[in-house]
Structure 1
Amino acid sequence: MTTPPSGPYGGPPPTPYGGQYPPGQPGQFPNQGYNPYGQGAPGPAGYGYGYAPPGRLADWPIRVGASLLDSLLTAIPAIAGVLVALIVNGDQEELGAGGGIAMIGGFVVAFLVWVWNRIVQQGRTGQSFGKKVTGLRVVDAHNGQLIGMGKTIGREVCAQIFNQLCLLNVLWPLWDDKQQTWHDKAVGDVVIRP
């Protein structure tokens, strides 16, 4: 029988957690890393030993549903602007000044709704309107914290660029081990269901 390792004065060895081991992890040494699935148990696919996101990774169909809800929210003011332009212009073939103002106003409001929803709300809470309805959240892939507005802006700009260049960006989560799109990978986030 071997004796357990001890500290310099005969007590337990020092720990990386302020003198205590994390709950459920007795005897875990600093070089082993924390694993909420138990000592020696593998973490979820793609995360390696010692890390698990703070929820389940979001499946592709629910992510598509959240994106469609966000698109619908943005489309409402744009469609309203077009309808008002048609009502103002009546049967005229060319767009008049009133119709043009209504249409431009609808698109400006749609853009402002997009900024509020996809950058401000998602940056502050991890949830856009669509993600809130479907119960999804965007978090940092490395520490599970919210990514903030700076990374959210980068994420949304990358999403617009990648979606215009190639449809594969939207389909990538179907076979990716972390179910990430390219824009998720670019800023280091994952979409989860808490």
Structure 2
Amino acid sequence: MTTPPYDGQPQFPPGQPGQYPAGQPGQFQPQGYNPYGQAGQGQGGYGYGYAPPGQLAGWPIRVGASILDSLIISIPPIVGVIVALVIDGDQDELGPGGGIAMVTGFAVGFAVWVWNRLIQQGRTGQSFGKKLTGLRVVHAQSGQLIGLGSNLGREICAQIFNQLCILNVIWPLWDDKQQTWHDKVVNDIVIRL
């Protein structure tokens, strides 16, 4: 018995690299999809949830992508501090030129963060670090991009949760969908392409 296509998402045959065989623990199916072809069986007829259009990204590769993002965001402030030191030398207090250089460096760093983590990741599912490591943020049920609004919420939650508790950062190590808390809030997953 064949199962009908769901919401325009591609069907992956069991055993394809990076995919779980149908009905295996850890497999995620979209809402309304039943691997047995009959509504009402299993977990409300939905199987185990959604089968992502790629393999779930592991914790080490996600950390690597985050480090790459942090590096490009930190370059402008570092340049601003260096320019401030060149302008004002080893004085105890910064002069106007050094202060402007530092403020400009931090403002450019913030602008890079907004472009990279909010706009670029919201539109394509990939920040600079995720693009280099072959990762993408997608909605956990539909497999589609989460968009700018959800991505903004995701990043705000990430900043709050990361400041409050380190558990947010390490939660994917034991989570079945390898999600952080901020992933769970907006219902997204990070996949390898």
**Same fold (TM > 0.5):** yes
Q: Where do residues 68-147 of structure 1 align in structure 2 (5 Å cutoff)?
A: 68-147=67-146
Identity of aligned residues (%): 69
Greater C-alpha Rg:
1
1:193–1:135 CA distance, 2 compared to 1 (3 A)? same
Say whether 1:45 aligns with 2:45: no
1:150, CA displacement in angstroms?
A: 0.3
Q: Is the contact made by 1:43 and 1:51 (CA closer than 8 Å) also made in structure 2?
A: no
TM-score computed with the length of structure 1 as normaliser: 0.80
Aligned counterparts of 1:173 and 1:80: Cα–Cα separation in 2: 34
For 1:160 and 1:46, locate their aligned partners in 2 and report how far apart those are by CA, in whole Å.
29
Which structure 2 residue ranges, 5 or more long, are not aligned?
A: 15-20, 29-46
Query: What is the identity, as a one-letter code, of the residue corresponding to 2:23?
Result: P
Return the letter of the residue paired with 1:45. Answer: G
Superposed CA RMSD: 2.1
4+ aligned runs moved over 3 Å, structure 1: 34-38
Change (3 A) 1:43 1:123: farther
Letter in 2 for 1:134: T
Q: Which amino acid aligns with 1:135?
A: G
Give the conservation status (yes or no) of the 8 Å contact 1:126–1:147. Answer: yes
Alpha-carbon distance change, 50 to 108 in structure 1, aligned in 2, over 3 angstroms? closer
8 A Cα contact 2:26 2:48, kept in partner: no
Question: Structure 1 unaligned runs (5+)?
Answer: 1-24
Residue type of the alignment partner of 2:52: P
The residue that corresponds to 1:150 in the other structure is: 149
Aligned residues: 165
Question: Residue in 2 aligned with 1:184?
Answer: 183
Contact 1:58 1:193 in 2 (8 A): yes
Residue 153 of structure 1 and its aligned partner are, at CA, apart by: 0.3
Q: Check the 8 A contact 2:56/2:178 in 1, yes or no.
A: yes
1:91 CA drift (Å): 1.9
1:91 corresponds to which letter in structure 2? D
C-alpha distance in 2 between matches for 1:70 and 1:107: 15
In the alignment, is the contact (CA less than 8 A) between 2:27 and 2:48 conserved in 1?
no
Cα distance change on mapping 1:182 and 1:158 into 2, 3 Å? same
Whole-Å separation in 1 of the counterparts to 2:111 and 2:143: 28
Residue type at the aligned position of 1:69: L
Displacement of 1:49 after TM fit?
3.9
Structure 1 residue identity aligned to 2:188: D
Q: After superposition, what is the alpha-carbon deviation per residue over 1:25-61, rounded to whole angstroms, capped at 9, x for unaligned?
A: 53x489xxx97456x9305506244630110000100
One-letter code of the match for 2:137?
V
- How far apart, in 2, do the equivalents of 1:63 and 1:106 lie? 27
